[in-house]
Amino acid sequence: MPSPHSLQGRVAIVTGAGTGIGRATASVLAQHGATVVLAGRRPGPLEQAATEIAALGPRAVAVPTDVTDPDQCEGLVDAVLGEFGRIDILVNNAGGGSLKPLMEWSLQEWRDLLTLNLDSVWLLSRSAAVPMMAAGKGAIVNISSGASYLTMPNAAPYGVAKAGVNHLTGVLAAGLTPRGVRVNAIAVGAVDTGQLTDEARRYLDEGSAFPGNAIGRIGRPEEIAYAVHFFASDASSYCSGQTLWINGGPKGEGGP
């Protein structure tokens, strides 16, 4: 009997796959047998990541894509179907933000961050869901953030967008799960990427926006990737519409 963790024969799209969580996710999915399509705006990191993954044995291809552009989202799906004939897994990881005082966000900055972090999830999900529903099976995994639960004035549009991702995950699950497409999300706590470290150093006092956790450290990208693999595989076949907050555990007062 095949392992429920195996992704052999499946095709996965991972957005924002050139660096960080996206790159780690593409690698973990490939290690479990998936053909991976790495999407993102910067061709250089995508090609480098695809080359490194392909050297391990699985097939990996880079498709430069701006996920804020509806036409490019549809083009990505069409390109994958044209090359591989199927889409089994979509990981909506592309996103990001910056930090500044609450009242200093311009309207355009607000809209740009919502477009990148929320609109992109809807645009690509609605395109990829069509072949998944036709096949009667698929998995969509959205990367959200702990900022969706925390009241962080310096990250207002980002937190609002990620809260929207959590809700959209439930809405998509309600509509797509009866057609065989499971949709789940991961709300990511502080993870060791260059962007997080730089932003934290520039704008934040220690503990002000990223509270200490029980583990006592920030996470590693692969620790998020393993959870993505769970939601993408048949190991989570009875799970849809959920947002899992991975944050190192709550930090209580005092000790044992």
| Whole-number Å distance between alpha carbons of 20 and 207 | 22
Contact present, 172 and 140 (Cβ < 8 Å): yes
Catalytic-residue membership of 226: no
Residues 6+ apart with CB under 8 A from 238: none
Q: Which two tokens stand for residue 107?
A: 């309207």
| Whole-number Å distance between alpha carbons of 121 and 92 | 6
| Whole-number Å distance between alpha carbons of 126 and 92 | 12
Contact present, 9 and 27 (Cβ < 8 Å): no
DSSP letters spanning 119-141 = IHHHHHHHHHHHHHHHHT-EEEE
Residue 138, phi then psi, degrees to nearest 5? 175, 165
Among residues 149, 158, 226, 238, the one annotated as catalytic is: 158
| Whole-number Å distance between alpha carbons of 23 and 98 | 21
**Torsion over CA: 197, 198, 201, 204 (sign):** negative
Catalytic residues: 158
